[in-house]
Amino acid sequence: MPDQTCQADHCDSRAGFSHAAARLSHDPATGHPRPPRREFKARGSFVERCPGCNLPALNCLCPYQARAESEARVWLITHPLEHLKPTNTGRLIRDVLPGTEVFTWYRTVPDARLLELLEDPDLVPFVIFPDDQPDYADRVVDIQAVSEVKVSGRTPVFILLDGTWRQARRIFRKSPYLDALPVLPLSTTRQTRYQLRKPASRAHLCTAEVAVELLRQSGDVDAAQVLDDYFDTFNVSYAASRRYEKIEVSTPAMLRLVARRTG
Ligand SMILES: [Zn+2]
């Protein structure tokens, strides 16, 4: 029987499947792929992880966990698939800013606590989303609107839609409780430093980077710096662990975080 290249997603001989096994995973009657008989293992699932921060234990994040105060708050509406990913950066925001709320998005069942918080007259939420479509142009505001909320004595809230670009767009379009809220597009020249996923463009920032820029631009400079340092440390540590490298020399961001914790 001639050797064949298997086209099914789960048939990857580099992942340890032999070609014989790959052929057996197809139904000989129909040629359709059968479900994989081995349990699918995501990349990195064999790595020993720290129970505190869930990063590979080789370069753990726990010694750098620092807290900060901010005037503005952050709420994350996180796609259910995003929660499971250890490369998710939304959770870094909650580590640094304890007032951060994290809601899981389900299309048909809005989070009851989120709906309750949206009714709080002291909180003024902004949905962070690009202003590239005309149908909600009347809801678009700029960062100045955040300052005006602070002057009025109320608390601005940045609602970040945490997921892939496609998931975020779906959350934006399919959540009626967001439809009345102002839309704040992030305007920045920052390019992403995120190393753990391949961005479509350097202009696409990850969730933690978006929060850093919003906090910085709206005057929460200290919180922005701590979160940026914590993101940087996460990014560098995780990337080094993927290369099986132990970080021996602290980065400037690591040194600042340690000084903050001890000082
Ligand atoms: Zn840890």
CA of 253 to the centre of ligand 1 (A): 17
CA of 163 to the centre of ligand 1 (A): 24
Is residue 169 pLDDT above 90, yes or no?
Answer: yes
The predicted structure's pLDDT at residue 191? 93
Query: Domain-by-domain residue ranges, the chain?
Result: 1-40, 57-261
CA of 47 to the centre of ligand 1 (A): 13
The rounded Cα 182 to chain-centroid distance in angstroms is 22
pLDDT band, very low/low/confident/very high, at 172 (cuts 50, 70, 90): very high
Instruction: Please write the tens of the pLDDT for every residue from 186-208.
Output: 999 999 999 998 877 888 899 99
CA of 56 to the centre of ligand 1 (A): 8
CA of 79 to the centre of ligand 1 (A): 24
Instruction: Please write the tens of the pLDDT for every residue from 59-108.
Output: 999 999 999 999 999 999 999 988 888 899 999 999 999 999 999 999 99
pLDDT band, very low/low/confident/very high, at 14 (cuts 50, 70, 90): very low
- Whole-number mean pLDDT of the chain? 86
CA of 96 to the centre of ligand 1 (A): 15
Is residue 18 pLDDT above 50, yes or no?
Answer: no
The 10 Å CB-count burial string (b at 16+, else e) for 56-94 is bebbbbeebebebebebbbbbbbbeebeeebbbbbbbbe
CA of 127 to the centre of ligand 1 (A): 32
Instruction: Please write the tens of the pLDDT for every residue from 219-247.
Output: 999 999 999 999 999 999 999 999 999 99
CA of 59 to the centre of ligand 1 (A): 8
Instruction: Please write the tens of the pLDDT for every residue from 24-39.
Output: 455 555 555 555 444 4
The predicted structure's pLDDT at residue 44? 54
